[in-house]
Amino acid sequence: MTEDEPSDNREFAKQLGARLRAIRQQQNLSLNAVQELSGGRWKAVVVGSYERGDRALTVVRLAELAAFYDVPVSQIIPNTTVAAPQTARGGASAIVIDLQVLRELPEHQVGPLARFAKAIQDQRGDYNNRMLSIRREDVRSLSVIYDLAPDELLKQLRAWGVLIGEPAAPTSFIPDDLID
């Protein structure tokens, strides 16, 4: 970007760059790691200039970089409504899914869970790709999809090895508003 560019364009480029940097950092990648993991497709100096807003990014290149990060383009573009990452109500009762283990399991087993996790990541704008916390209510919803009782679904998730830690209380599905 040059100094004679309209200030709106410079500001947009900086916001776009900030989103790119945030996504890269959520995935715990350095600029050099991006270059290495991409086999040199994405040079560290070029990605850094995109992140600073110093270099214009074409739509095609943005789509390619989004695909590399495994993030929808819509989540990178500034002024897109993105919900802030939320913590589960009651904190200790959150269910934490290991996304890396989930990706290694057969699609026919975990397809609904994988799609659900991806939708939550998109909604939250959270692309760390390592773990995802969900609420007890989410387990209820998933149990309907899998045609299992919530406790049975949690047993299945444990058997698949996708749970990180355990809920504080033994899978009690009492609505939060009934708990004192």
Q: Looking at the structure, do residues 14 and 70 belong to the same domain, yes or no?
A: yes
Residue 85 in any domain: the answer is: no
Mean pLDDT of 126-134: 80
CATH no. for residue 114?
A: 1.10.10.1930
pLDDT at residue number 175: 42
Residue 166 pLDDT level (bands cut at 50, 70, 90): low
User: pLDDT exceeding 90 applies to what percent of the chain?
Assistant: 21
Residue 84 in any domain: the answer is: no
pLDDT at 80 over 50: no
Q: Looking at the structure, do residues 108 and 38 belong to the same domain, yes or no?
A: no
Q: Is 27 helix (H, G, I), strand (E, B) or coil?
A: coil
pLDDT at residue number 87: 39
Report the range of poorest mean pLDDT among 55-69, 101-115, 127-141, 146-160. Answer: 127-141
Question: Which of 45, 75, 105 corresponds to the end of one domain?
Answer: 75
Residue 82 in any domain: the answer is: no
Mean pLDDT of 100-108: 90
Q: What is the tally of structural domains in the chain? A: 2
Domain of residue 56 covers 7-75
pLDDT at 139 over 90: no
Q: Looking at the structure, do residues 48 and 106 belong to the same domain, yes or no?
A: no
Mean pLDDT in the chain?
Answer: 78
147-174 in b/e burial notation, b at 16+ Cβ within 10 A? eeebeebbebbeebebbbeebeeebeee
pLDDT at 35 over 90: yes
